[in-house]
Amino acid sequence: MKPILEIGNVTYSYHTLQGETTALNDINLSVMPGQFISIVGPSGCGKSTLLSLISGLIKPDSGSIKINEKKIEDSNTNIGYMLQKDNLFEWRTVYSNVLLGLEIQNKITKSTTETINEMLKAYGLENFKDARPSQLSGGMRQRVALIRTLALEPDILLLDEPFSALDYQTRLEVCDDIGAILRRESKTAILVTHDLSEAISMGDIVVVLSKRPGKIRKIVEIDMEIPNRTPISSRSSPKFKDYFNLIWKELTDNV
Ligand code: ADP
């Protein structure tokens, strides 16, 4: 199997009137199809910048980013982006919020609406199609945002702190929920989070970045030795604590 994403020697700096800020320095990372990658590191170390580079919103100063062996601009790979804010529109119903991406891309067909209906059913939102976003819980809103993103059939899903606006219990539930959905759909996902437990419980691989300029400090493969693991079952695995301590040490040694 070939990597779906290859980041080679990528460096990126922001240029402002105040001067130059090197956000990322010599980043190398390969991601295989279906893998779930979590990225952790101190605040301001360049995690969101890395997602912006992968999405093609910004271009590296040096190095290369390839998706399915092609440069981002030549690749027809679909990339989905999910942010901390769900960005649902209150003036639209749940259903028309979910359809928004397809509407913009002129892709509303019998088959895409069928897929949406199936997802709404599978993810417990069938009876809320006509509701407004404000009538939903935070967790339900995030599920709506996820379905809207998945409707466009992204090959790679970028998740930038998507759970951090939720309260602790909802956050655990939504993590589990969304982790299960992404595994069921075999999506390649890259999650940026400042929550180490979340990173370990969701990821197949945890990438630890150093403080700015962000460099890769460590890449840790997570194997909880439990079949069909979910984020919640991972948290009760005896190995969870070992991974937590190992990565915590990497993070704190660096501060
Ligand atoms: P993280 O997501 O890890 O918190 P970011 O990728 O947002 O970090 O930012 C990395 C560094 O780049 C930070 O020091 C930040 O101040 C700087 N930075 C981010 N965006 C901009 C910008 N638009 N202009 C100038 N500097 C920026």
Superfamily of domain 5-77+156-253: P-loop containing nucleotide triphosphate hydrolases (3.40.50.300)
Degrees to nearest 5, angle at CA 236 with 234 and 237: 65
Q: Are 131 and 93 in contact (CB under 8 A)?
A: yes
Q: How far is CA 86 from the centre of its chain?
A: 13
SS (HEC) of 149-218: HHCCCCCEEEEECCCCCCCHHHHHHHHHHHHHHHHHCCCEEEEECCCHHHHHHHCCEEEEECCCCECEEE
Question: H helices of the chain, where?
Answer: 47-55, 94-98, 100-104, 110-122, 138-150, 168-184, 196-202, 231-235, 238-253
Q: Which residue owns the Cα nearest ligand 1 atom 7?
A: 48
- Which residues line the pocket of ligand 1, CB cutoff 6 A? 14, 16, 21, 23, 41, 43-49, 212
Boundaries of every domain in the chain: 5-77+156-253, 88-154
pLDDT at 150: 87
pTM of the full structure:
0.90
pLDDT at 254: 65
What span, in angstroms and rounded, lies between the C-alpha atoms of 231 and 228? 10
How do the pLDDT tens digits run along the chain, 255 residues long? Answer: 899 999 999 999 999 888 999 999 999 999 999 999 999 999 999 999 999 999 999 999 999 999 999 998 888 888 998 887 888 999 999 999 999 989 988 899 999 999 999 889 888 899 999 999 999 988 889 889 989 988 888 989 999 998 887 788 888 888 888 888 888 878 899 999 989 999 999 999 999 999 988 999 999 999 998 888 888 899 999 999 999 999 999 998 866
Q: Which residue owns the Cα nearest ligand 1 atom 21?
A: 14
Angle between helices 138-150 and 110-122 (to 10 degrees): 150
Q: Could you tell me the distance, in angstroms and rounded to a whole number, from the CA of residue 254 to the centre of ligand 1?
A: 18
Helix (H) or strand (E) holding 43: none
Q: Which residue owns the Cα nearest ligand 1 atom 10?
A: 46
